[in-house]
Amino acid sequence: MGLLPADFESAVSTIPPLRQIQRLFSQSPFIRQMFLVFRYLHKEIPSEIMLSPEECRHLRARRIQSGQLIYIGDCRSRRWPARLKEGCQKAVLCGHPVKREESVRILCSCLPEGSRWERSLSDAVELGMTHFQPLYCDRSEKRSFFSFRNQRIILSASAQSRRFFLPKIFRPKKLNRLAKLLRRCPSLQNIFVMIPDTKQSLQEYLRHSWNPSQSAVIIVGPEGGFTPRELDWFSQQGYPFFRLSPHILRVGTAGIASLAMLS
């Protein structure tokens, strides 16, 4: 039941003042300490990590001080607690790592026009995407996607959503090269080609035949859809077709909706 107009003033009066809310957030150990940075720590695990000037600025903005805890992720599956030293310019590892394996979610998608994909890329990371493979199709715009800005978007979204695995971006590929890549990875058996004009619903399929721990490859076409030649090619490869909605979705929306259903 919604609030009645007569109750509105009394309901608003129960909300704490802004300064009190900010003080509660700053005093919360979980919120204050959950500052996550990523480093590639695959061979040797150092005892201390030097922070970049940008990371130091973020620490100051969040009022995290020397002596408090932050977390260091190895970009794969482990995360260490670390204590800030030397004016928040260095973090010293001070505990055992926490490990969590993430399910593989490969999003293969054509690029939409303009810069709309930046928001979609951030949302995809928050919903569990592990790899992004840009596609060149007959109706797609051929342009570069592998950029430093996109890497920063992924890094920021991964820290914000507290990911263990830092998602990776591949260079754009054509469909035939994508098929060769998938054949070299036999563990990637769940391939979903998203098109609007098919009977099989992704939601119904997942309801009866899906385990979230399984790996998945999502293929999304360009704004104008796949051409008949490309649809025939998918059928020859044995890739099944699924629909997300009775409506036509944008490229970014289709990828985000698919990841949300798989999570």
Give residue-wise pLDDT tens across range 138-152: 888 766 666 778 888
Give the total number of structural domains in the chain: 2
pLDDT tens by residue, 121-144: 999 999 999 999 999 988 887 666
With respect to residue 2, please indicate whether it lies within any of the assigned structural domains.
Answer: no
Do 88 and 110 reside in the same domain of the chain?
no
Residues 116 and 186 in one domain: yes
Is the four-CA dihedral 226, 231, 237, 243 of positive or negative sign? positive
Phi-psi region of 225 (alpha: psi -120 to 50; beta: other; left: phi over 0): left
- Residue 83 sits in the same domain as residue 192: no
Measure the CA–CA gap between 71 and 83, rounded to whole angstroms.
8
Determine contact, residues 245/210, Cβ cutoff 8 Å: no
Provide the pLDDT for residue 158: 94
Does the pLDDT of residue 14 top 50, yes or no?
A: no
Answer yes or no: is 4 within a domain: no
Any domain includes 35: yes
Indicate which CATH number applies to the domain containing 76: 2.40.240.20
Q: What's the burial of 178, exposed, middle or buried (CB within 10 Å: 0-12/13-18/19+)?
A: buried
User: Domain check: are 232 and 120 in the same one?
Assistant: yes
Residue 8 lies in a domain: no
> Could you give the CA distance from residue 168 to residue 130 in angstroms, rounded to a whole number?
6
- Report the chain's mean pLDDT, rounded to a whole number: 83
Alpha helices in the chain (DSSP H): 5-13, 18-27, 29-33, 53-61, 117-126, 148-160, 175-183, 202-209, 228-237, 251-262
Res. 22: pLDDT tops 70: no
Given a contact cutoff of 8 angstroms between Cβ atoms, the answer to whether 91 and 49 are in contact is: yes
Does residue 7 fall inside a structural domain? no
pLDDT exceeds cutoff 70 at 59: yes
Domain assignment present for 73: yes
Burial class (CB in 10 A: 0-12, 13-18, 19+), 221: buried
- 55 and 177 within one domain: no
134/198 same-domain check? yes
Burial of 76 (0-12, 13-18, 19+ CB in 10 A): middle
What pLDDT does residue 15 have? 46
Residue 140 lies in a domain: yes
Among the candidates 84, 99, 114, a domain finishes at: 99
Q: Please tell me the pTM assigned to this model.
A: 0.82
pLDDT classification of 186: cutoffs 50, 70, 90: confident
Last residue of a domain, one of 47, 69, 99: 99
Between these two residues, 196 and 25, which has the higher pLDDT value? 196
Residue 246 lies in domain:
105-262
Q: Are residues 35 and 135 in the same domain?
A: no
Q: Is residue 12 part of a domain?
A: no
Pair 129, 192 in one domain: yes
